[in-house]
Structures are given as structure tokens and as C-alpha cells.
Amino acid sequence: MDPAGRHALVTGGGRGIGAAIARALTAAGAVVTVLGRNPAPLAAMLAEGDAAGFAQADVTDAAALAAAVARAEAARGPLSILVNNAGAVETAPFGKLQRDAWDRMIAVNLTAVYQATQAVLPGLLAGGWGRIVNVASTAGLTGYPYVAAYVAAKHGVVGLTRALALETAKSGVTVNAVCPGYTETDLLADSMAKVVAKTGKTEQEVRATFARSNPQGRLVAPEEVAAAVLFLCGPASGAMTGQAIAVAGGEVM
């Protein structure tokens, strides 16, 4: 039971890790729908042959998300694979963390995973086979300063992964998480740019600071995260469920 011919939905699939995952699944023969808020990068994925279709929706809008899932299934068949990748990060010392920022981080990083999974899981269970992979973060396994809401949300994703894995253990559906360290994406580039603006350090200095958290002394490539996701969607991973796999060069053990 491999991804070939199976319909996969990748949220946040237009760029960064999500785009790399969509490419990997497409190369493995899956029929991939990429979902996101901005149609331009999603359409580009389709034009480049890295996805079979796209769906526009904000993952924090439960009704819009459910409608997008329904449209995708009507167009490309029942879903067998869900990759919850969409996410965002905002930084602030905890004492200055405003409630609206907290709510945004929980909504996009945790509640959206719950909403997408609720929309897709019944079909996976009915089909007797499925793969759910949640893209969490090393922030779901350890703490980082100045991103308390993000860390809390990602810990929640890991907890949700483990709980749902137990509920679905005998169903043919597996539920796992991958936890990347600092990864070479637009999201990280934005974070580094903010540090440069705030501290006056050069981009190279800030990049080196981020890379030092990885014992290998480098940033993770999106394709390395995608490879872990692809394995979890493949035939050799059937005995793996409820796992949170760090892709971080040994940063978290």
C-alpha cells in the first residue's frame, strides 16, 4: 500500500516544506492537491507538474477548509493521505505576548490541524487505509524563547498526533509527526530578516546563529523533511504510528 495513485492533500503546499512534500509525493505517483490561501504559488505548483490540483482556503476557517476538501475529493477522488503542513510563527517576549497573537498562533498551528483532520479522517477510516502526517517542529519537543505561543501550539500538535494514533491504531490509518529544526524556507528567511533589522547584525551572522542550534552546523533542507514525510506515507511505515520524528541534525534526541 504505497502512495502511487492515492489522493494526498498537503496544506500550506505552495512553498517551502509543503511544496517540497508535494513534489516528493507527486514523484512517488500520488495524486496531490495543494491547499493554501494564496492561489498564485498553488497554481505554479500545478503548472510545473508538482501537483495534480489545488484548493484555495484559509486553514483557520473551518467551513472554507471543509468545502475545499469536498471540492478536492469531487475532482480527484477520496483522500488517502493528509499532510498538515500549514503554519506560521510570530515572536515576542512572553511579557509582551498579546492575546490576539496567541490566538493566531494556536489557530493556524494547532486548531487548523484539528479541523483538517476532522474533515479528512472519516473518509480514511471508511477506506481502511490512510496516512496523516503532521508537520510540527522541534518546538513541539523542546522549548525556545520568544515564541511561547508557537511552542505551545506545536507541543499540542505532537500531543494530538499521539492521542489520535491510539484511537486509530487498528483502523489501517497511521498518524505521525515530523519535527524539523530550522529549515531553509521563506518563513525562516522572514524570521532572520526581522532579527537583522532588530539587532543590526549581518544576514550571515544571523544565519550562523540559527545554524549553530543544529549539531551538524547547518540549516535543514526542505527536501530532507519531505523525505521523512514520504517514508511515513509509504509501505514500510505501517508499524509506525504516534511518532514525532525530529529532522534536525541531532538538535533534539
pLDDT tens figures, 129-154: 999 999 999 999 999 999 999 999 99
- Cβ-in-10-Å burial (0-12, 13-18, 19+) of 135 comes to buried
- What pLDDT shows up at residue 120? 98
For every residue of 209-241, DSSP letters joined together read HHHHTSTTSSPBPHHHHHHHHHHHTSGGGTT--
pLDDT in tens, 235-252: 899 999 999 999 999 999
- Across 78-82, 159-163, 206-210, least confident range: 206-210
Domains of the chain are: 7-181+221-238 (3.40.50.720), 182-219 (no CATH)
Measured between alpha carbons, how far is residue 10 from residues 43, 217, 251 in Å?
14, 29, 26
Handedness of CA 131, 235, 159, 103 (dihedral sign): negative
Radius of gyration of the CA atoms of the chain, in A: 17
Instruction: Return d(Cα 118, Cα 160) in angstroms, integer.
Output: 12
Tell me which residues are annotated as active site.
Answer: 150
pTM higher than 0.75 for the full model?
Answer: yes
Q: How confident is residue 191, by pLDDT bands cut at 50, 70 and 90?
A: confident
| pLDDT surpasses 90 at 123 | yes
- What pLDDT shows up at residue 222? 97
pLDDT in tens, 24-63: 999 999 999 999 999 999 999 999 999 999 999 999 999 9
**Strand segments (E) across 51-114:** 53-56, 79-84
Q: Using alpha carbons, select from 72, 70, 109 the residue that is nearest to residue 90.
A: 109
Task: Find the helix packing angle between 16-27 and 222-232, rounded to 10°.
Answer: 50
- What pLDDT shows up at residue 31? 98
**Cell numbers 478536492 label which residue?**
72
pLDDT, the chain, mean: 96
- What pLDDT shows up at residue 192? 87
Backbone torsions φ then ψ of 56, nearest 5 degrees: -95, 125
- What pLDDT shows up at residue 18? 98
- What pLDDT shows up at residue 188? 85
